Amino acid sequence: MATQREVAAYFNVNERTIRNWQKIPGFPASKGRSGYCYQSISRWLVACSSLNRDGSITSTTSDLGSDEKALEIAEKKIKIRKGEMDIAHKEFDLEVKEKRFAPIELITRTLELVSVAMASNLEALLPRLKMAWPDMPPEAIEVIQKIIAVSKNEVAHIEPDLSSYEASDLVSSEEGAEST
């Protein structure tokens, strides 16, 4: 085990270089005072040099500054993106509250409930009519069955009119509200 000064002398570099190496991911951590292992640092240098054949480890110190700037820029972009998404979500919530826009999940669920209720009412219509009118003529029963069948078939083939929508409305965007 060696101190930072001893490691710098062993590898023939400055102590500042050792401190810069410590900032690079994968550098062997010191185990307290006099806690650097020559072998671990040697293995790390070999691994870095094999990854960085065209440049030396000392050049990574200058790269470290540019990497930090790139990291700061990336973090700023992420913050801006999060802010934009927060604004988009708040605008979406406002549109829902003003009843100008509703989430598709809400519309879909409402339509499902309405269609189930209508289908069950249609199924219950004929037995209720037979109970209310026990001597109903068979012709009336056939007419009612045909009307129920036609109603179910018409509902099954309903499709939305997409001509009134713009192409951007039909394509889901990444900036839309996320479902919770």
Encode pLDDT of 74-96 as tens digits.
888 889 999 999 998 888 888 87
Q: How confident is the model at residue 178 (pLDDT cuts 50, 70, 90)?
A: very low
Residue with more model confidence, 162 or 137: 137
Q: What is the mean pLDDT of residues 108-125?
A: 86
pLDDT at residue number 95: 80
Residue with more model confidence, 47 or 142: 142
Least confident of 88-97, 126-135, 140-149, 159-168: 159-168
Domain extents in the chain: 4-53, 102-158
Tell if the pTM clears 0.85, that is, is over it.
no
pLDDT at residue number 60: 52
pLDDT digits (tens, 9 = 90+) for 32-71: 777 788 888 888 888 877 776 655 445 555 566 677 787 7
**Strand, helix or coil at 36?**
strand
pLDDT at residue number 39: 81
Helices 138-156 + 104-132 axis angle, to 10: 180
Residue with more model confidence, 142 or 5: 142
Helices 15-22 + 59-97 axis angle, to 10: 30
pLDDT at residue number 143: 92
Q: Which residues contact 20 (CB under 8 A, 6 or more apart)?
A: 60, 61, 64
Q: What is the mean pLDDT of residues 144-164?
A: 79
Q: Is the pLDDT of residue 166 over 50?
A: yes
Instruction: Round to whole Å and give the CA distance between 114 and 7.
Output: 77
